[in-house]
A and B are shown apart, each in its own frame.
Chain A
């Protein structure tokens, strides 16, 4: 193959498929960069703000749904929650509760009434 034809092959016109892929890629990159820039500007730094709710699981007698929500600006790791009902106490651990997200767990308690839950410890990410 001559040098000229090789160059010609390299500089060939883009096909419609290549244009489509290129435009789609640019659109994805722009959307992601705009989103990340938006989140960067609206990002409010601060410690984790953990809220814990425990409610009965209507489908299963004696089972409770534990929800931990993090409204802070930093994720929390190794979140330890204590759930108690009368003399009975259960410990639940969440690996991570990311900023702005919630995590759920199921707890089985044998007593009657409404269990109480509290955050025992966590690490800031």
Chain B
């Protein structure tokens, strides 16, 4: 789960990038193979020195294979959820897009262990508590969604996704952020589940953090002039941007 979290956090910004969709479908398969080869070597090295579990660097080949294989599945799942690959496309083009998107995702797998230090980040103890958590959630949400908010992608995706896909995105945002914070065994997880407070029930905290991510996504889109109302296309854009924002909020909460 820690590897999946790393993959989502590092992979999402590129999965939300039009150029990845275009180049995945236009690059020659030989070039994609070459890129995958280089990425695998990087994965092997990162799995040897960092890995996706504390102290687990003794089987770098096995971990690199697992990270690489699962990142294909994860990238496919996320691209399918966002409607960027489907079964009407030629398999060659769909495969190219998934393979290209899986590159940062697989690196996220291999770096999973380094994403949230054990015991939380520096000054984490001063931010502990309900308000501190929500502040960290907002900070993480801004960091991950700020580089997507001013781009065309949220608008493009919002116009193309139907109600079912949008509902699925909300559901996946909630489930993944819940799993990342409470089941990925990142550093900081131990302390947070022992801290008392209304926001520390896993379900309540996940819902509150999603609300924070949703608000951050809405405010960023409004600041950039992308939305003018909380309905229809505007609401769809916020839901689309809330996905990376909620992943950022999960990472932010792990650091406190």
User: Which residues of A are at the interface with B, using a C-beta cutoff of 8 A?
Assistant: 10-11, 21-22, 24-29, 32-33, 35-37, 39-40, 43, 45, 74-75, 77, 95-96, 98-101, 125
Contact = CB atoms under 8 A, between A and B. Distances in A.
Contacts of A99: 25-26, 90, 92-93
B227 interface: no
A96 B20 CA distance: 12
Say what secondary structure dominates the interface of chain B. helix
Contact of B29 (A25, A40, A74): A40
Interface in B165-189: none
B65 A22 contact: yes
B58 A11 contact: yes
Contact of B26 (A25, A27, A43, A125): A125
A36 B27 CA distance: 12
Nearest to B98: A32
Interface of B: 22, 25-26, 28-30, 32-33, 36, 55-56, 58, 62, 65-70, 72-73, 89-93, 95, 99
Given A21-B66, A25-B65, A96 B95 contact: no
Contact of A32 (B66, B67, B99): B99
B22 A96 contact: yes
B68 A25 contact: yes
A22 B92 contact: no
B90 A100 contact: yes
7 contacts: A29-B72, A40-B29, A43-B29, A75-B25, A98-B26, A101-B90, A125-B22
B72 A28 contact: yes
A28 B69 contact: yes
A10 B58 contact: yes
A28 B36 CA distance: 13
Given A27-B69, A28-B72, A39-B92, 14 more contacts: A22-B65, A25-B69, A29-B69, A32-B72, A35-B91, A36-B99, A39-B29, A40-B28, A43-B28, A75-B22, A96-B22, A98-B26, A99-B26, A99-B90
B93 A35 contact: no
B198 to A, nearest CB: 35
Nearest to A7: B58
Given A36-B29, A39-B29, A40-B28, A10 B55 contact: yes
Nearest to A98: B25
